[in-house]
């Protein structure tokens, strides 16, 4: 089923793309405000900061440039909490973060119980996303009536929709993509399968695209070590992380095996992990039936999408 379109309103508060930014989804009572830590003083002057809400502190992970460090919190006075987090770490603050995003309600109907529930749900989701969560142990909070839990479940889904638009991808729903993949396979829906082979090491991997994401399938093989001789390669931390987390498990001499389906941000990221070195995914992945490269296959798909719905006076001239 095709996903339904959504309208999101973005507003550059001071007219700068690097400044404060607000975001709203049409017909949703939530309101997001984000900005760099360097603009915290201006952000705290906004009326949203005095409301009840949840907030996200985000910064780079010094041990792995492929992921972010995230702290998720809640407060009935977000401004007070952000001031505390801005203190030096030896005075109870947090040093790691560089950007902040807070989500409140335009109608101010969020209560302390609501945001405690939201915080618990968002921490649980973020803990499975691959980011470095700085909250420590996740906790449960279910002190809400059934009707309120339903409302907050909808609120969570809207947060997960709007945050990637603002550049925060630590709530990506990888499990949903995997479920869609399994549904396609169970219903035998036609979908392109891509293969990558390294005959020298007896390696073969398979992948599919789901909603624009590249998913390497469980059972695929990869090199058993990072083989690049360069001092630093961008995807090496990702490879190491997948080994440490068990996504890549021991399989045999010269290779490891994907223990479960895994979502990658691009074909090249997937190809690098399989090869154990940097690789161009657009040329190394081949469509299984036609043996076209991923890049050629993608171009062919675009060419097939003729603009048949254009008015007659806008159709390209023939001849």
DSSP letter, residue 67? S
- The better pLDDT of the pair 100, 188 is held by 100
| pLDDT above 80: residue 172 | no
Question: What is the rounded CA–CA span in Å between residue 97 and residue 58?
Answer: 5
Triad 94, 95, 101: Cα angle to 5°: 70
- The better pLDDT of the pair 156, 137 is held by 156
- Whole-structure pTM value: 0.73
| pLDDT above 80: residue 304 | no
Question: What is the rounded CA–CA span in Å between residue 301 and residue 319?
Answer: 24
- The better pLDDT of the pair 92, 197 is held by 197
Q: Which of 6-20, 42-56, 63-77 has the lowest mean pLDDT?
A: 63-77
| pLDDT above 90: residue 273 | yes
| pLDDT above 50: residue 7 | yes
Question: What is the rounded CA–CA span in Å between residue 217 and residue 194?
Answer: 10
Which residues sit opposite 35 in a β-bridge? 100
CB atoms within 10 A of CB 195: 16
- The better pLDDT of the pair 167, 190 is held by 167
Amino acid 189: pLDDT: 59
Amino acid 319: pLDDT: 41
Q: What are phi and psi of 8, to 5 degrees?
A: -120, 130
Question: What is the rounded CA–CA span in Å between residue 39 and residue 34?
Answer: 10
Question: What is the rounded CA–CA span in Å between residue 278 and residue 266?
Answer: 13
Question: What is the rounded CA–CA span in Å between residue 201 and residue 105?
Answer: 55
The answer for residues whose C-beta is within 8 angstroms of residue 139's C-beta and 6 or more apart is: 120, 123
| pLDDT above 80: residue 177 | no
CB atoms within 10 A of CB 54: 27
Q: What are phi and psi of 152, to 5 degrees?
A: -70, -30
The answer for residues whose C-beta is within 8 angstroms of residue 138's C-beta and 6 or more apart is: 120, 123, 124, 127
Q: Assign residue 246 a region: left if phi > 0, alpha if psi is -120 to 50, beta otherwise?
A: left
Confidence of residue 42 (pLDDT cuts 50, 70, 90): very high
Q: Which of 38-47, 171-180, 283-292 has the lowest mean pLDDT?
A: 171-180
Question: What is the rounded CA–CA span in Å between residue 204 and residue 273?
Answer: 12
């Amino acid at each position: 089923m095709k996903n339904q379109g959504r309208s999101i309103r973005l507003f550059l508060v001071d007219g700068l793309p690097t400044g404060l930014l607000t975001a709203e989804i049409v017909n949703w009572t939530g309101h997001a405000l984000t900005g760099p830590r360097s603009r915290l003083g201006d952000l705290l002057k906004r009326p949203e900061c005095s409301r009840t809400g949840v907030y996200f502190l985000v910064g780079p992970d010094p041990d792995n440039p492929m992921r972010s460090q995230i702290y998720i919190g809640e407060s009935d006075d977000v401004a007070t909490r952000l001031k505390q987090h801005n203190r030096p770490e030896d005075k109870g603050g947090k040093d790691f973060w560089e950007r902040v995003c807070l989500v409140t309600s335009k109608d101010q109907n969020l209560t302390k119980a609501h945001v405690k529930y939201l915080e618990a749900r968002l921490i649980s989701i973020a803990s499975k996303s691959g980011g470095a969560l700085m909250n420590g142990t996740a906790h449960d909070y279910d002190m809400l009536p059934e009707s309120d839990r339903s409302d907050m479940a909808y609120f969570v889904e809207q947060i997960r929709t709007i945050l990637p638009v603002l550049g925060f991808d630590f709530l990506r729903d990888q499990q949903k993509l995997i479920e869609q993949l399994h549904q396609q396979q169970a219903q035998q829906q036609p979908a392109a399968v891509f293969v990558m082979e390294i005959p020298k090491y007896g390696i073969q991997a398979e992948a599919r695209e789901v909603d624009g994401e590249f998913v390497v399938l469980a059972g695929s093989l990869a090199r058993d070590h990072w083989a690049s001789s360069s001092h630093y390669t961008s995807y090496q931390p990702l490879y190491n992380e997948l080994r440490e987390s068990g996504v890549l498990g021991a399989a045999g001499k010269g290779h490891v095996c994907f223990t479960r389906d895994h979502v990658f941000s691009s074909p090249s990221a997937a190809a690098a992990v399989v090869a154990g070195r940097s690789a161009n995914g657009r040329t190394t992945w081949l469509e299984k039936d036609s043996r076209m490269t991923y890049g050629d296959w993608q171009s062919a798909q675009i060419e097939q999408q003729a603009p048949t719905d254009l008015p007659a006076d806008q159709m390209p001239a023939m001849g």
